[in-house]
Amino acid sequence: MTQYKRTELVLDKAFDAQSCRHEIAGNPVVLHCHHYTALYTQLALDCSMLDAKALLAECSEDTWEDFLSAYYRTHGISSIPERIALAEQTYAAAGLGRMRVTCAGPESGEVTLDHSHVDAGWFKKWGQHSTPVNFIGAGFIAGLFAAVFGRPVRTYVATETQGIVCGASCSRFTVIVR
Amino acid sequence: MSINRKQIVSAMSRIEVSGNADGLIPGFNVFVNMIPAKFWNSFAERLTRKVPPDMLEAAEFMLVNAAHECGYHTGYGIITSEEWKAVVEPMIEKVPEDVLYGAFAVFTAWGWAKSEIVELVPGERMVVRAYDYYESDVVTYGASTKPSAYLIRGVAAAFMDLAYGGKYDPTGKTGLRTHQCVQTKGIECGDEYGEFVVTRATT
């Protein structure tokens, strides 16, 4: 008989009444809206004196590599398919959208977003954009690959080749080791 | 004052937000995300430390502005929400002052900052103190010379916009930015609490 195991994300949520902070899996978390996300993204696009797009992606990469790696350690998750499934669920639980890692290897990968907070928020606020804007998502994906394959941050770079915000039916990212 | 802060914090801190089948969280007339505070702090801190000194003011303005717009639109969504109607609205006697006090209780309940209004001159000036806020986590040792609570600054100004800036304008062309906020103290700067002074915008 064949048995199938579906790994479900389990997030311990807590509110500290003294500090009035919310935590998920031991990480202080905060709610923000698409206006905030869109304006941070716009700031990254506009900031010409340094590569703020890469900066935004790196901050996302660092945050999520840390989160996912800690989750895998705590819950003893070692298989690649399980790690990927949990990362996809984490993306959705954070309200960032619906992600599918369509292929992944230690050198490269491909990821699709069927729905995206960053894109939907930008569109709701300003309409279409001529180029992809999901630097936060790109960072998440780079962090995901680092966590899944047990590599340090900045091992991978994810590039958005197609964006929902541009009018595409889904967003696509390619991932390659630097 | 009729606002029961403790009751609002207790009730509103329990509200669950979760993604729908598309992995999105629609609520309060916006899309919401729930991300580790570390992400927002990292970007703000790296940006403001890496820009040339003569560009710091511009960078900080944009960070505050992001919070200002967020606070204006999402703040309006909150004070017109079913959750607000159920928990806060029954306590409101004086409008808009009690709405402001209630809004800062919700601000506390949702983990943005443990904060309260300590001085309010209706239509003119508001002073807010924050006794714990995630933006102060950028410093874990010593004291910074750079106040870093950009979110609180923006949202505090936005709440005054909603209270005294005229009818809510979803386009943001009027009402928004009728007030401005400066940070006069910061936990990240070695002070006991963060302090924020909101006044009518001068420009």
Residue A11 lies in a domain: no
Percent of chain B predicted with pLDDT > 70: 99
Distance of residue B95 Cα from the nearest chain A Cα, in angstroms: 26
- Residues B18, B20: Cα–Cα separation, whole Å: 7
Please indicate whether, in this complex, the C-beta atoms of B34 and A97 are within 8 angstroms of each other. no
Q: How many domains does chain A have?
A: 1
Give the pLDDT confidence score for residue A7 in this predicted structure. Answer: 84
CATH code at position A117: 3.30.1380.20
Please indicate whether, in this complex, the C-beta atoms of A93 and B59 are within 8 angstroms of each other. no
Residues present in chain A in total: 178
Residue B14, token pair as written in the block: 């329990």
- Predicted structure pTM score: 0.94
Residue A17 lies in a domain: no
Residue A146, token pair as written in the block: 């680092």
B45-73 burial code (b ≥16 CB/10 A, e <16) = bbbbebbeeebeeebbebbbbbbbbbbbb
Stretches in chain B below the pLDDT threshold 70: 1, 203
Residue A19 lies in a domain: no
Q: What is the ipTM of this complex?
A: 0.95
DSSP state of B142: S
What is the pLDDT tens value at each position of chain A, 178 positions in all? 665 555 899 888 999 999 999 999 889 999 999 999 999 999 999 998 899 999 999 999 999 999 999 999 999 999 999 999 999 999 999 999 999 999 999 999 999 999 999 999 999 999 999 999 999 999 999 999 999 999 999 999 999 999 999 999 999 999 999 9
Residue A130, token pair as written in the block: 């001529």
Distance of residue B104 Cα from the nearest chain A Cα, in angstroms: 12
The pair phi, psi for residue B197, each rounded to 5°, is -115, 120
Residue A21 lies in a domain: no
Give the best residue of A36, A96, A126 to mutate against chain B (max B CB count within 10 A). Answer: A36
Residue B106, token pair as written in the block: 């919700």
Fold for B5-13+22-200, please state it: Muramoyl-pentapeptide Carboxypeptidase; domain 2 (3.30.1380)
Distances (CA, A) of A87 to A70, A97, A140, B29, B36: 12, 12, 9, 27, 15
Please indicate whether, in this complex, the C-beta atoms of B35 and A63 are within 8 angstroms of each other. yes
- Residues A53, B51: Cα–Cα separation, whole Å: 14
Please indicate whether, in this complex, the C-beta atoms of B30 and A35 are within 8 angstroms of each other. yes
Nearest in space to B159 (alpha carbons), one of B203, B110, B117, B111: B117
